[in-house]
Amino acid sequence: MKILIQSPQILDSNSPFHQKEKNVLINNGKIEQIGDKNFSADRVIKAEGMLLSPGWFDLGTFIGDPGLEHREDLASAAKVAVAGGFTELAMLPNTVPSVQTKNEISYITRFNENRLLQIHAMASVTKNNKGEELTEMIDLHEAGAVAFTDGLKPIWHTDIVLKALQYLQKFNGVLIDHPEDTWLNLFGQMHEGVNSTRLGLKGMPRIAEEIVINKHIELLNYAGGKLHLSKISTAKSVELVKAGKKKLKLSCDITAYQPLYDDSYLADFDTNYKVSPPLREKADNEALIRGLKDGTIDVICSGHLPHDDESKNLEFDLAEFGILNLQTFGAHLAVLSKSVDWVTLLEKVTTGPRQVLGMEIPKIDEGVKANLTLFDPDKSWVLDERTNLSKSRNSPWFGKELKGKAVAVFNNSRHWFDH
């Protein structure tokens, strides 16, 4: 099948067609021609005003399969991710059992050959993600694990962090950690500040994140290796990472929603805004924006963490942390584009995550396999019961009009079009 994408703006700094409006002809999963001619095709997508980039990659998606399939399974996650514009994702190991054997990796990746969305497995650093005993990381790497992390759980054991950094150097692997001192955040519900005091909720102080980042940077300096910090959220965290990157193999990401919302959104006790790390203050948001612009922040991820209604429709202090954001990711990028240019934003979701994992980076050029996302920054749509493809619905944007949507995705000789 020949598909013509007509006049999108190509955004791919590795491509000879970067920042140019060209017609792109895809034939049987390959980019056959790029140019100004109106190539004949079986299907034509009129894409003026749209952005064509390498396929988006989400670094650290929660999928509850196996064990927690009622929240999201591999099949539903694939539908949600593709509709959000993603062609690949790296899955967190917080399943039941956790991803700590070759069988679990095989279970996650076994359908990749026949799947539009490529799901990569990140393996647990410690058995059952408890932080007490290392997994067989070399075996897991050979089985296909793309990174090592305890996912939603911070690696609290200092010696485990040190040994993991040392072991991973044997195959140039990357350690990913969500920096949080759980003792300082114990019983915390939201960011510690004026609003937490006003609402009578126990706060989660910035220092609970910053003290761990500081410690990890010292350990990385001592042990060597590659470290990626997941979901940083404070102004000082950005400063610490920026300084550490000057001499260490250090990278970091933020969620797409973190720079756009602050703790004032919790005034109505909407549990859908209850996330970890918590929504901070405007000064932190502005620092995250600066970190995106100056290259301190390498990756923007979705932070997709589905929950069933029983986990969210509760009193605020009993509700779980987490938010749906695969399908609404592009709408957040569109809002961020008012502060950060599109070239920079798309690098954080195409080149950035693949560089962290040491993976091949797709390119928009003639003769290569099509791994592409076509995004319309002006398309309005509503996330509701009809359009939501997730098994869960813990999104504060449910029923609201959003602007910015993926309209086509190409990968692995397969494609998806938004109707």
d(CA 321, CA 308): 12
Does the structure show a pLDDT above 90 at 124? yes
CATH code, 52-357? 3.20.20.140
| Cβ(362)–Cβ(11) below 8 Å | no
Q: Is the pTM of this model over 0.95?
A: yes
Question: For residue 69, what pLDDT band results from cuts at 50, 70 and 90?
Answer: very high
Does the structure show a pLDDT above 80 at 287? yes
**92-125: string of b/e by CB count within 10 Å (b at 16+)?**
bbbbeebbbbeebbebbbeeeeebbbbbbbbbbb
Residue 277: cis peptide before it, omega within 30 degrees of 0: yes
Does the structure show a pLDDT above 90 at 274? yes
Q: Which of 298, 314, 262, 326 is nearest to 78 (CA)?
A: 326
Does the structure show a pLDDT above 90 at 34? yes
% of the chain at pLDDT higher than 70: 100
Domain layout of the chain by residue ranges: 52-357
Report pLDDT digits (tens) over 18-32.
999 999 999 999 999
Tell me what pLDDT residue 237 has. Answer: 98
Q: Which of 312, 323, 298, 319 is nearest to 390 (CA)?
A: 323
Does the structure show a pLDDT above 90 at 419? no
Report pLDDT digits (tens) over 201-258.
999 999 999 999 999 999 999 999 999 999 999 999 999 999 999 999 999 999 999 9
Mean model confidence pLDDT for the chain: 98
Does the structure show a pLDDT above 90 at 349? yes
Q: What is the mean pLDDT of residues 131-145?
A: 97
Residue with tokens 């509709």: 83
Residue with tokens 């920026």: 242
Report pLDDT digits (tens) over 160-204.
999 999 999 999 999 999 999 999 999 999 999 999 999 999 999
Question: For residue 100, what pLDDT band results from cuts at 50, 70 and 90?
Answer: very high
Tell me what pLDDT residue 344 has. Answer: 98
